[in-house]
Amino acid sequence: MNTSQIPRSSVANLRAALTVEYHFIGNEDCFIENIRSIGEADETSLVWCSPTKPNKQTLVDETSACVIICDGSIEISEEQKASKAFFIVDNPKLAFSRLVRSLLRLNQPRGIHPSAVVHPEAEISKTAFIGPNCTIGACKIGDHSQLHGNIHVYDDTEIGNHVVIEAGAILGAEGFGMAKTDDGVWERFPHIGGLEIHDFVEIGAGTTIDRGTLENTVIGEGTKVSKSAHISHNVQIGKNCLITGCVSIAGSTTIGDNVWISPNATILNKLNIGNNVFISIGAIVTQDIKDDYQAIGRKILPKTK
């Protein structure tokens, strides 16, 4: 992490930015200038401590950080209260994540890099950022969305608000749909649908997502797609899914909400994957999966509690 990106922030600034319930203990005059791990911190660092760490009390006692996000199991001495600031929360990782993203957003770039090529009919929010060497078709890009370098966005792609797309992604290309003639020759089927990427989606570097044939391919709100994944035409993905590296989802498959797909999994076309499904690393999915089930290898089993 480039810690120089973090603006100097007082406890009052942090209180205003933190969007989870918390209990504050300590010195109101503390401030931060960087964000580091709890073991590498200095006197102006913001850190968090995992509640699952067996040595969490020692980590908090020994850190040099001045502002610490932790859970209520940490014992805080009078000396610590006098010199440091503690935000006590139920989920330190979530609180830390939200706070850091809020601080980074203050320096988030806006505008279109001069090397980008943008279609004259593209509708791009003034708060969005288009990075170097991007090619942007006749599409829509919403508020505060960030497109890193070397991204190609085809026509009829709609990108929502607060979307992050990493370098080298290709969005809205024509899918691999073919029709066969009587002579056995393959001809490309026309893809006149589009691609919808809803709010708060993240798409990793090198990932490709195809446009639909007649209807749109859809990536639901809050879904995160890692690097080098491929999502084919007409796929419908619900909300808050986690799709990890090198996953391949074939065309016209529907995926519900809160689905976790592990690395190198392959999902056959035209399947229905329910809500709250887990698909294990390297799984090959060739049949529908009901809500709350999991795919392990080629087996479909109820999820264990």
* Cα–Cα–Cα angle for 161, 166, 171, rounded to 5 degrees: 75
What phi, psi does 63 have (nearest 5°)? -70, 150
Cβ-contact 275, 294 below 8 angstroms: no
Q: Which residue bears the tokens 């001495």? A: 77
**Catalytic residue status for 198:** no
User: What are the Cα distances from residue 28, in Å, to 5, 71, 91, 303?
Assistant: 23, 19, 22, 46
**Dihedral over Cα of 68, 70, 76, 81: its sign:** positive
User: Per the residue annotation, which of 152, 162, 191, 233 is the catalytic one?
Assistant: 233
**Rounded-to-integer distance, Cα 167 and Cα 152, Å:** 9
Dihedral class, residue 107 (left if φ above 0, else alpha if ψ from -120 to 50, else beta) = alpha
* Rg of the Cα atoms in the chain: 23
Q: Looking at the annotation, which residues are catalytic?
A: 233
